[in-house]
Amino acid sequence: MIVRRVLNNNVVDALDDSLQEVIVFGKGLGFNSKPGESIDESLVEKIFRLDDDAASRHFASIVGSIPGDILSATADLVTRARDELTTKISDSLYASLADHLSFAVERARDGGEFTVPLAVDVRRFYPNEYAFAKSAVVELNSKLDSALPAEEAISIALHVINAQVGGAADSATRLMELTHSVLEIVRLDFGLAYDEDSPAYLRFVTHLRFFAQRVLLGETVQRDDAELLRILREQKPSAFACVDKVDSFVMRSHGHAMSASEKVYIGLHIASFL
């Protein structure tokens, strides 16, 4: 690996053997290093490989101010998140999580208190991310000799959720607002009282999560389901009349026109409650 620039005594912006940009961390790695020199790989402790140019620039801009133990812990958590969760995790998580943890650890050491918004919705709509974040708090407290409170799991989960939709700071909020809105349209249309532990509800919420993610990313599931949709409209008219209300809302709020396939799947979920 070749040094591009020294970010601090422990962090170097470098090119790997494939000429891909990497951020390399190791105690004393940047001391007396100069651009163009080879890196002493015996000093390398962590390599951050970022495929996204914008995420790489953002990470490089803050990494010099982040303590080394937090950088190392962040790298481990991003690797774990990508291994354990089913959705794609953006490179933006490196910078957002490292920056957040640097502040959170300092706040915990100073005894600061905080409240976390969206706690109920995170637990309800993103149980896997929340479970991951709870274990992350335990791991961080062990590695960093810190006292992060249990509530910190909500903040970590929100950063992971944001990274699933490209990294925008308000992505998690928008995802949960859209999921909640569709659930409310269905609930009010049929006067439902959801059993949040029922398989039908859990399957519907899971589907809505991925639907909301596609809406925010501007993606659509396109298959040749027009004929199936026509048949289901005849068989389950009330459920698919409700789908039309969802379609109208999503178009009005997000400019997203639901495909026939999306209408089929959401309509079948709605029908399971009737």
Domain segments of the chain as ranges: 1-49, 53-169, 177-271
For the question of whether the overall pTM of this predicted structure is more than 0.75, the answer is yes
**SS3 at position 47:** strand
Q: Which CATH class is domain 1-49?
A: mainly beta
According to CATH, the topology of domain 53-169 is: PTS-regulatory domain, PRD (1.10.1790)
159 compared with 48, residue with greater pLDDT: 159
Residue 240 burial (10 A CB sphere; 0-12, 13-18, 19+): buried
Identical topology for domains 1-49 and 177-271: no
**SS3 at position 38:** strand
Q: How far apart (Å, rounded) are the C-alpha atoms in residues 155 and 104?
A: 10
> pLDDT band at 118, cuts 50/70/90?
confident
Residue with tokens 């439902």: 192
The structural architecture, per CATH, of the domain 177-271 is Orthogonal Bundle (1.10)
pLDDT of residue 169: 67
Q: What is the pLDDT of residues 34-93, one digit of tens each?
A: 888 888 888 888 887 777 777 777 777 787 788 888 888 898 899 999 999 988 888 889
Amino acid at 256: H
